[in-house]
Structure 1
Amino acid sequence: MILRRLLCAAVPAGLALSIAAAPAPAATPTASSPGSAATDALPLGVATLPETRTSTTLARGVTLTRIVRGATPAAPEDIATTDEGPWVVNTLTIEPAAARGRLVATYGPDLARTESVSDLVGFTGGLIGTNASFFTFTASAQYPGDPVGLGVFEGTLLSEPTTDPAEEDVVFDGQSGRMVFGKVQWSGSAVDRRTGATVTINAVNHPPGATGETDWITPEFGARTPSGPGAEVVLDRRGCVVRTSWTTRGTALSAGQSAVQATGPEVTALQAVAGPTTCLTLRQSVEDAVGNRLPLTPKTYGVNGRYRLTEDGRVVAPVGTGSFFGRNPRTLMGRTAEGTIVLATIDGRMTSSVGTTIAETAAVARSLGLVDAVNLDGGGSTTMATAAGPVNTPSGSGNVQRPVGDALVWVPGR
């Protein structure tokens, strides 16, 4: 089961206050000299830009570093094109062998709703975190937190990967730090345990499409299942049918209950399998990009991104046009050759930090030593925060945090 402890932030008060009050923690900065060819300098803008780095140890094996490249605020009309910056990058490095704790992905009380990164850090009793996956987002959506792509939480797949070729996933062991990058492959079916009859499951925890789809809705989705025309079979905690509706969807679930919903021609297929005495099992196949089975344990988490940035030390980000490929705030996740996990945010759409293109983001990932890295949700979602507030500067109106679908959070402890 996903974490259900609504806790106050497990952050030492002094640390939380210093981060909230001063995004650049007090420490001795290091500067790359103008014109130097230091490999540590970010590959952004002209080579002569000044760059400072300020690092703070948050816990054993966990370090926060703020990088500021460029010193002159950009003119608003030049944000998309300037080679003078400035850029503000915050990196969180986690050394699994030294750190005492775990990296988790969490969605909060349920999948259907959204919460700020600060709230999600507090929800897990975490130290610090970033936003993670792409999600439905739109304010008019009935279920704005609904993940758009892979979501694995404490070893349970609660959202399947999409067929979008741009989706790139990260599956990781929160304790050891082992990470698998690439597009996860998934298939599912509901099986009658008595007869062996099956029906294909098209998705997990999403409202089924109107043209015909069968989806499994787990208890983690929310207190009510998605509503609309179609069929719904409600199951108890053993997977046995407790009630059916063949014309409409949407009902309150009791503790432990789940549901199977169908629309269009798939209603008939569900009726053929789900009788009044039927008990169903959800069977899923979860494999990596080359077809190897991905074992899911209670320490396994998975999030979705859009576009691989680096692979085996090579920049592999695609060339593209349009607003997504242009300069935006960015959040990325990756690992070094030594196994260090890095989460990073790049502020953008501001005169104080102009953001990065996909190509520039990949170059930053490589310069940070990330042999494998993925571009996570960005734009107004880009946030690094403690429970006390953001460490970076979100780009939304008033620089407030945008509620997001899930977050990556470092939780201290054994």
Structure 2
Amino acid sequence: MTRRRGRSAAGRAVLTVVTAFGVLAGAALAGAAPAGAAPAGSALAPGVAYRQFDLPAAAGTTHAHLLTVDLGNPRVRVDLLHPGAVAERATVSHMANAARALAGVNGDFFDITETQHPGVDPTGASVGPAVAHGRVLKAAVPDGQRFGPALPPGTDTEDVLGVGTDHRARLDRLALTGSVTTPAGRLPLEGLNQYALPENSVGAYTSGWGGASRARAVCGTDTNRGAGCGAQAYEVTVRRGRVAAVAGAPGSGAIPAGTTVLLGREAGARELRELAVGDRVSVTHRLVGRASRVPYAFALGGFPVLRGGEPLAGLDDTTSAVRTAVGFTDGGRRLLILALDGAVAYRSGLTVAEEATAMRSLGATDAFNLDGGGSTEMVTRAAGAPAVTVRNHPSGGAERPVANGVGVFATG
């Protein structure tokens, strides 16, 4: 790799781009971040600060935008930004404005394209688990069905960054546990509002899924996202504890509140075919943390890059890209939210290994990689402003609709 030695005049004079929800502000050189501590920056609210600065990297200098969030401040919190349904997408600025967030960044990787499955539309749903306002929205797809760069060794799609009801951030894994009780017995529930179900399983879809088709859920395998779509699929609609309808293929359309659609593939489809309209059925599901028993107020997927102050083994150290990361320090009481700039002068970005090192240099003990490239975006709201401002330049030239994000909120 070659290292850039400076910026051209054209690189300095980045044009300001106006969007429907804010302004893509030009990134001015703000000085290097001090090692061992996050830059203080300018206060957006008590407990929340923003700063931008340059970061050296093997592929050339990149530019960083950083939010520091004091979770120990009772007037500050973070939560999931989402479009209102799992299978929908919206820009970070739209989601932040709708939620009246003070600031935010993009979140998890998501089902963005289905070129390997002709006739099947991408759902836009995220890869990993998602919890918003303490409510479970979805569980993780199988590892082989994920979108995004290769996972570091020892990690999987159940990995999350979350903030518990104790206002502390953690890295954890959220596993789905649930069951479907039928007149013939109990079946394991292995999916919840997911764009891909495990082979031979039964998954549940609720009003939180949205109106998108569920056809993608029976495509691919546990090890190959691009494999074909299963010929064996069956749906059962459960309303008020009884089977209200059955269908021989995945359906679409909004699911009413209080209704659950069960979708089975392969062996799961054969189990559901035993049910008839009128049969009594009950469905239970929850996400269980492996590292903490504290309930999560907020959680989203991605993958860890830093634990206990040490980068994970096997992190990619060759592919540089624009990236988004969230880290924490002080026992999870302080968040560090990083988004790189996608302007031409800085687009070389960081490798995942460099990202982990950068987060550690800012003071993080633990850090988590989120979606990057054209999805990377940070927004902030000025005092009294009706809309947020996009702080970095999205590398695609405009905001990309994404599945979810991390929202920062401050009251008073």
Q: Distance in 2 between matches of 1:389 and 1:121?
A: 10
Residue 89 (structure 1) aligned with residue 77 (structure 2): no
3-state DSSP of counterpart to 1:183: strand
Equivalent pair of 2:44/2:50 in contact (CA under 8 Å): yes
| 8 Å Cα contact 2:32-2:53 kept in structure 1 | no
Q: Is the 8 A contact 1:66 1:89 kept in 2?
A: yes
Q: Letter of the aligned partner of 2:188 in structure 1?
A: T
Q: Please list, as runs of the form range in 1=range in 2, the aligned pairs for 1:24-103 lying within 5 A after superposition.
A: 39=35, 55-69=41-55, 81-82=58-59, 85-98=60-73, 100-103=75-78
CA offset digits 1:130-176 (Å, max 9, x no partner): 00111112276624321112112222322223453344311213x65
Name 1:158's counterpart in structure 2. Answer: 137
**Partners in 2 of 1:202 and 1:413 — Cα distance?**
39
Q: TM-score, normalised by structure 1?
A: 0.76
Q: Structure 1 pair 274/385, CA: closer, same or farther in 2 (3 Å)?
A: farther
Alpha-carbon separation, structure 2, partners of 1:209 and 1:286: 18
Rounded Cα–Cα distance in structure 2 between residues aligned with 1:364 and 1:106: 25
1:301 and 2:298 matched: yes
Distance verdict in 2 for CA 1:317–1:330, change over 3 Å: farther
Deviations 1:200-231 (A, max 9, x none): 22211124559533110010111355148621
Partners of 1:177 and 1:23 in 2: CA distance: 34
RMSD: 3.2
What are the equivalent positions in structure 2 for 1:2-401 lying under 5 Å apart? Answer: 20=23, 22-23=25-26, 39=35, 55-69=41-55, 81-82=58-59, 85-98=60-73, 100-138=75-113, 142-164=121-143, 165-167=155-157, 168-173=159-164, 176-192=166-182, 197-207=185-195, 212-227=200-215, 230-236=233-239, 238-245=240-247, 247-252=248-253, 253-272=255-274, 276-284=278-286, 286-289=288-291, 293=293, 295-296=295-296, 300-306=297-303, 308-320=304-316, 326-337=319-330, 339-348=333-342, 350-386=344-380, 387-396=387-396, 399-401=397-399
Displacement, 1:353? 4.4
1:5: which partner in 2? none
Aligned residues: 354
Deviation string, structure 1 residues 222-246 (Cα, Å, up to 9, x no partner): 135514862111122x44322222x
- Distance in 2, Cα, partners of 1:227 & 1:31: 49
C-alpha distance in 2 between matches for 1:201 and 1:129? 33
Aligned twin of 1:9: none
- Structure 1, residues 324-383: CA drift from partner, whole Å, max 9, x if none? x51101111111125211111122583334200111101100011101111111111111
SS in 1 for 2:179: strand
Q: Distance in 1 between matches of 2:298 and 2:135?
A: 8
- For 1:281-335, what per-residue CA distance to the aligned partner results, in whole angstroms no more than 9, with x for missing partners? 223351325xx54535xxx1111113x22211222252446xxx51101111111
Q: What is the TM-score with the length of structure 2 in the denominator?
A: 0.76
Taking a change above 3 Å as real, the CA distance of residues 320 and 220 of structure 1, as seen in their structure-2 partners, is same
2:37, 2:167 → 1: CA distance?
26
Q: Relative to structure 1, is the Cα distance of residues 400 and 282 closer, same or farther in structure 2, using a 3 angstrom cutoff?
A: same
Q: Match for 1:254: what amino acid?
A: P
CA contact (8 A) 1:126 1:409 kept: yes
> Which residue identity lines up with residue 395 of structure 2 in the other structure?
S
Q: Which SS does the other structure have where 1:369 is aligned?
A: coil
Once residues 313 and 243 of structure 2 are traced to their aligned partners in structure 1, the CA distance between those partners, rounded to angstroms, is 47
- AA of the residue aligned to 2:274: A
1:211 and 1:341 map into 2 onto residues whose CA distance is 37
- Deviation, 1:81, is 4.7
Q: Which residue of 1 aligns with 2:407?
A: 409
Distance 1:314 1:260, change over 3 A: same
Asked if structure 2 preserves the Cα contact closer than 8 Å seen for 1:54 and 1:66, the reply is no
SS state of the match for residue 354, structure 2? helix
Unaligned runs of 5+ in 1: 1-15, 33-37, 43-52, 71-79
TM superposition shift of 1:101: 3.6
Cα distance, 1:368–1:54 mapped onto 2, change above 3 Å: closer
Cα deviation for residue 279 of structure 1 reads 3.1
Counterpart residue number, 2:10: none
Q: 1:273 Cα deviation (Å)?
A: 5.4
Counterpart of 2:151? none
Offset of residue 179 of structure 1:
1.8
Residues 305 and 374, structure 1, Cα contact 8 Å, conserved in 2: yes
Offset, 1:114:
1.0
Tell me the amino acid that sits aligned with residue 168 of structure 2. R
Partners of 2:285 and 2:388 in 1: CA distance: 41
Residue identity opposite 2:263 in structure 1:
Q
Paired amino acid for 1:315: P
Q: In structure 1, how many angstroms separate the alpha carbons of the residues matched to 2:348 and 2:212?
A: 41
